[in-house]
Chains A and B, each alone.
Chain A
Amino acid sequence: MMRMVNPTFILKIPCTLLILVLSAASPRPAEAIAYCSLRDPISAIQNFFPNMTDYRSFLGAVDLNVRDHLQAELGYDMHFNEFGKHTLYLVYADDTPVGLVQARTEKGDWGLDEIAWALDFDFRVRDFRYQRSRSRWRHEVETQAFKNELIGKNFEELKSMLSNDGMLLTSRPEFLAPEAEQLATTVIRSALKTIAVTQVVWRETLESQLALTLE
């Protein structure tokens, strides 16, 4: 959707940015900072892993180094809300690690979209679900058919589904409505960033945790 920016809007942007900066800089509990605006994907974890018995959360910082790495890997930039401290959930079933869950935000048509991602330990997509989206095409991409397009794919396979700038699908599935293509692109971009961030920020943590579990 092409939108023309009028002068009054230009004045609003710095105000909003100021709000966001002040929000981020204001004193608050550590967890609040960690969760940022994301909701805890508790129900998503239960949904992804019905036999789960426990999970552990690991806090990690997405900073400029991570951003540079992602930009080099993906070829496109991250949005402002993706910075800060984020949480990776390691899910257990009877003390056995069964998978990873992470919630990420994407800039949607109306506000921020929140998507909870389930990954296996080979950093392949296991499942996903929206925690929030105000797009009327949400149900087009939250279908099992579309999920099947993503499940089991690693970073490279997902990346090949998008154009170089990450803004278009290389080939639109027949079941997907043309109006939902933009939203589907956003979902795939979110999956790529989730895998990349997880690998960069939590790889060592995960390796040590998984090693402990094996002992």
Chain B
Amino acid sequence: MPFFRSSSLSIRRYLGNVMGGSVLLGAALAVYASWLLIDLEQRQNLAGRESLQLKTLESALEQVDILLTSADLAIGAGETYTAELAIELSSDLRGKFSAINNSFPEEYHPSFLELSSLLLVLEEQLSRSSPDGSADPETSEQLLREFDEASLALAILLDDIYVPFRDQVISDGQLVEQLKARVKATLTAVFLIYVMLNLCIILWSLRKIAYPIELLTKGAERSIAFDSEFKLETRGPSEISKMASFFFQLIERLNGKVRERTLELESQTRELEREVDARTKTQIELKSAKERAERSNQVKSEFLSVMSHELRTPLNVVISSLQLLREETDDPYQLKFIDLADQSGQALTDVIGSILEISKIESGELALAETEFSVVGEFAKAISMTRLAAATKGLTMTAMLDPALPVAVTGDDARWRQVVINLLDNAIKYTESGSVSVNLEVDEQQPGCIVVRVRDTGIGIDSHLGQTVFDGFVQADSSRSRAYAGVGLGLKICREIARAMGGQCDYQSNPGQGTEFWFSAVLDVHDSTEQLVQSIGAHAQSHQRVLVWAEDEGSPAFEWIRTLLQAFNFDFHRVASQHTLLKELSKNPGAWSAVLAVSVTLPELGQTSLIESNADLESMPLIHVRADLENLKSDVSHDRLHRWIACDCSEPLALLRALSGEVDEASYGSQVPLLKQAGRDRAPSSETQKQVLLFSSEPALYMLLEDYFRQGGFRVTQCSDFRGKRPEQDILEAELVVLAPNSVDQFEQMTAMVSDIRRFVEFMPIILISSLEAARDEVTGDPYLITVNQAIPAKAKLLEIAGHLLLESAKSRADRKKYSL
């Protein structure tokens, strides 16, 4: 086709021609198919008509058969009645054949005329038939012969009509079926030819249109690849030729632009490479500097740790020596300087402690303990420990407790209390007048989150300081650093501990008006404790009436008692004096189930012998809730407390047990130092003195500890060598072993030594005194070994621990003896 070869042909014209041709061809084929189908339909109609005529004829022939059978009866047997009915049937048949004759082809018309005349003859014969026996035999015989001839002629005629027509109908039907099959085959062939033609047209069209586009695409690809040897072809329809031409021009222009940009990019790349080299160099230097800084920081932390430890040990010896010195002199002048030296030593200890703490935090060694404790108790302890400082400055100190506080939680109680004390110390330190209020709350938004808020009316913090107060060695400002003691590490430690506990530490301040610091920590509520509390609470559901003796209604200790009693539905009444207490008791002794005295020390409340000797109170529990543990250690009136059950603010469960009547021996025994039971004032004889085997390589520490234990009525034997041969005889004779390792090496040797000692004496009480981190983390599970994580513990505490261990050891020995007997 010429138009396909022409490059001036447009796609539109081409497609129009192709589609038009396809439509015309389709139309011609459709006309042909219609003609075939119409012819087929006409033939089918004709065959149908013939078939209908045949059925009509056959119906009539059935009647003829009946007619002849009837005629046979009528004429053969002379049944006139049957003859009459046969005549009627014949007449009816004549009418029917007349109707059939009209619809049949003309060649059959003479036969139908003859048929009608024969039927008339038959009717005439039937009408002549008479009852059998009534006609003479000749007449009957004549009639019979005539009837046979006529009926035979009729039968032959009917055969002549029926058989050819039936054959014709069958033949026509077969022709129609053949025609139908032929039409079907023809139409299928036509359709297939049409489809094939269209497929050819489509393929041809694709080649004519798609191929130039493919060439163009290939050209574009080669052009993009800057293949200069490739030449764009412009064959194909005019649109594609034009497009290829335009595209070629566009590529040429783009190539020019690309060359320009390439040159620019090459220049920029070179510049960037120079920059990257410089930056890489800087980065390497920075990385090196960072590593150096980290190394320096680590070295600094190690240095601080070592130095703090090395400083703290002799310092503790100095402080302890001063305490001993204070007990040996009554000279006010000497006491003044001893106090001054003691205060300076304590301040230095605090600074060293803070430095050690922060170095530990920075080196990532901060580890939190998992112990069960009462937040209310720890809170009360912290307040008790800071109340004196606040009172000294004339500050009012108030505390508020959230009733929803849990009774017991699991966490690091010491760290938690440390943060509270730090915040309270800060508030007291920077407040010259007014008040310090502290709230203990539950954060309802976060389960297990306990919040402490400390609000003061102090100098506040300038806004420009912002979060820098939480950086190390930062105070409110440089001018104040002289006025307020400390190195500015407290808040940094608080924040780090709060973060380690899953909480935060932050503040809000109005300079000149005050500051509010808050600290939150996520603590686990101890399930088993909760169940215990519930059981105790259920036991105490009977609304027992408790008489509470507390002088200061606003004290945190009383607040805590109030919260606890209300939480467990105790009915309580506070009295402020012993006089009122006795008066209330005398009014109705049976109305009260327990007496609760709240004070730092029991003597602080005055003479309690009247209560103890009261006969009405013999069966009534007398409970003393000690709000200040530090002071309790120096409580000299324990000899007179035999009727009183001692509870700490930090032990709400013990208090609940005591109120519920579940008083165990531990409530008395754990709190009463053995040595004091033995009577410190009564000097023991050398026979009754207990042998202490003291291991210490530090002479000053050894001297101090020796003095402590000698004053406690012990005989002391020294052993300074941790590595040498064990003094087995000394171990066997000793009743208490005290180990004071001064280095990590010594601590490890000491651990092996403990195993050796246990082989000789199973229940040997052992006290481990060390401020080493390894000792802090040591969890032995040994019930006869107590670790004191201090370089130099207080004498009273040390002797108390010794008494406790000796008592436990003695009990175990006694039990062993009892069971062996």
* 1/0 contact string of B56-78 vs chain A (CB within 8 Å): 10110111111011111100111
CB distance from B280 to the nearest CB of A (A): 109
Point out the residue from A5, A23, A29 that lies within 8 Å of B133, measured CB to CB. A29
Residue B285 CB within 8 A of the other chain: no
State whether A4 touches B73 (Cβ < 8 A): no
Point out the residue from B56, B62, B132 that lies within 8 Å of A32, measured CB to CB. B132
CB distance from A26 to the nearest CB of B (A): 7
Residue of A at shortest CB range from B65? Answer: A110
CB distance from A98 to the nearest CB of B (A): 25
State whether B73 touches A37 (Cβ < 8 A): yes
Within 8 A of B (CB), among A110-127: 110-112
State whether B55 touches A6 (Cβ < 8 A): yes
Residue A134 CB within 8 A of the other chain: yes
State whether A4 touches B55 (Cβ < 8 A): yes
CA distance A29 to B148 in the complex (A): 25
Point out the residue from A9, A22, A134, A136 that lies within 8 Å of B63, measured CB to CB. A9
State whether A110 touches B154 (Cβ < 8 A): yes
Within 8 A of A (CB), among B170-193: none
Residue A8 CB within 8 A of the other chain: yes
CB distance from B390 to the nearest CB of A (A): 127
Q: A6 to chain B: which residues have CB within 8 Å? A: 55-56, 58-59
CA distance A9 to B70 in the complex (A): 15
- Among A12-20, A58-66, A204-212, which stretch is in contact with chain B? A12-20
State whether A110 touches B64 (Cβ < 8 A): yes
Point out the residue from B65, B89, B155 that lies within 8 Å of A136, measured CB to CB. B155
Q: B82 to chain A: which residues have CB within 8 Å? A: 19-20, 23
Closest 6 CB pairs of A and B: A111-B68, A134-B155, A110-B155, A6-B59, A37-B76, A32-B132
Point out the residue from A8, A12, A39 that lies within 8 Å of B76, measured CB to CB. A39
State whether B73 touches A20 (Cβ < 8 A): yes
Residue of A at shortest CB range from B62? Answer: A9
12 A-B residue pairings within 8 Å (CB atoms): A12-B63, A19-B85, A28-B131, A35-B132, A37-B76, A109-B65, A110-B64, A111-B65, A112-B72, A134-B68, A134-B154, A134-B155
Q: B55 to chain A: which residues have CB within 8 Å? A: 4, 6
* 1/0 contact string of A163-194 vs chain B (CB within 8 Å): 00000000000000000000000000000000
Point out the residue from B73, B78, B132, B151 that lies within 8 Å of A110, measured CB to CB. B151
- B-side interface mostly: helix
Q: B132 to chain A: which residues have CB within 8 Å? A: 28-29, 31-32, 35
State whether B81 touches A22 (Cβ < 8 A): yes
Residue B754 CB within 8 A of the other chain: no
Q: B69 to chain A: which residues have CB within 8 Å? A: 16, 111-112
Q: B70 to chain A: which residues have CB within 8 Å? A: 16, 19-20
Residue A36 CB within 8 A of the other chain: yes
State whether B131 touches A111 (Cβ < 8 A): no
Residue of A at shortest CB range from B69? Answer: A111
Q: A8 to chain B: which residues have CB within 8 Å? A: 59
A-B Cβ contacts below 8 A, count:
93
CB distance from A17 to the nearest CB of B (A): 10
State whether A31 touches B68 (Cβ < 8 A): no
CB distance from B441 to the nearest CB of A (A): 106
Q: B131 to chain A: which residues have CB within 8 Å? A: 28
CB distance from A23 to the nearest CB of B (A): 5
Q: A4 to chain B: which residues have CB within 8 Å? A: 55, 58-59
Query: 14 other contacts beyond A28-B131, A36-B76, A134-B155, with CB at 8 A cut-off?
Result: A3-B61, A3-B62, A6-B55, A23-B73, A23-B82, A26-B81, A32-B133, A36-B77, A37-B76, A110-B154, A110-B158, A134-B151, A134-B156, A135-B155
CB distance from B560 to the nearest CB of A (A): 115
**A23-B77, A32-B132, A111-B71 known; A5 vs B59 contact (CB < 8 Å):** yes
State whether A5 touches B62 (Cβ < 8 A): yes
Q: A134 to chain B: which residues have CB within 8 Å? A: 68, 151-152, 154-156
Residue of A at shortest CB range from B59? Answer: A6
CB distance from A113 to the nearest CB of B (A): 9
CA distance A209 to B158 in the complex (A): 47
* 1/0 contact string of A18-56 vs chain B (CB within 8 Å): 011011001011011001111100000000000000000
Q: B76 to chain A: which residues have CB within 8 Å? A: 36-39
CA distance A38 to B144 in the complex (A): 12
CA distance A135 to B154 in the complex (A): 11
CA distance A13 to B70 in the complex (A): 12
CB distance from B57 to the nearest CB of A (A): 9
CA distance A117 to B486 in the complex (A): 157
Q: A9 to chain B: which residues have CB within 8 Å? A: 59, 62-63
State whether B72 touches A111 (Cβ < 8 A): yes
CB distance from A71 to the nearest CB of B (A): 22
CB distance from B287 to the nearest CB of A (A): 111
Residue B159 CB within 8 A of the other chain: yes
Residue A132 CB within 8 A of the other chain: yes
Q: A22 to chain B: which residues have CB within 8 Å? A: 81
CA distance A110 to B68 in the complex (A): 6
State whether A31 touches B65 (Cβ < 8 A): no
State whether A16 touches B155 (Cβ < 8 A): no
CA distance A29 to B64 in the complex (A): 29
Residue B79 CB within 8 A of the other chain: yes
Q: A28 to chain B: which residues have CB within 8 Å? A: 131-132
Q: A38 to chain B: which residues have CB within 8 Å? A: 76
Q: A32 to chain B: which residues have CB within 8 Å? A: 77-78, 132-133
CB distance from B61 to the nearest CB of A (A): 7
CA distance A36 to B71 in the complex (A): 13
CA distance A23 to B131 in the complex (A): 12
CA distance A35 to B78 in the complex (A): 11
Q: A36 to chain B: which residues have CB within 8 Å? A: 76-77
Residue of B55, B79, B148 with most partner-chain A CB within 10 A: B79
CA distance A31 to B78 in the complex (A): 12
CB distance from B698 to the nearest CB of A (A): 136
* 1/0 contact string of B140-175 vs chain A (CB within 8 Å): 000010001001101110110000000000000000
CB distance from A70 to the nearest CB of B (A): 21
CA distance A3 to B60 in the complex (A): 10
State whether A132 touches B148 (Cβ < 8 A): yes
CA distance A28 to B81 in the complex (A): 12
CA distance A181 to B158 in the complex (A): 20
Q: B159 to chain A: which residues have CB within 8 Å? A: 109, 136
Q: A12 to chain B: which residues have CB within 8 Å? A: 62-63, 66, 89
State whether B158 touches A39 (Cβ < 8 A): no
CA distance A9 to B61 in the complex (A): 10
Residue of B at shortest CB range from A38? Answer: B76
Q: B152 to chain A: which residues have CB within 8 Å? A: 134
Residue of B at shortest CB range from A22? Answer: B81
CA distance A23 to B65 in the complex (A): 18
Residue of B at shortest CB range from A135? Answer: B155
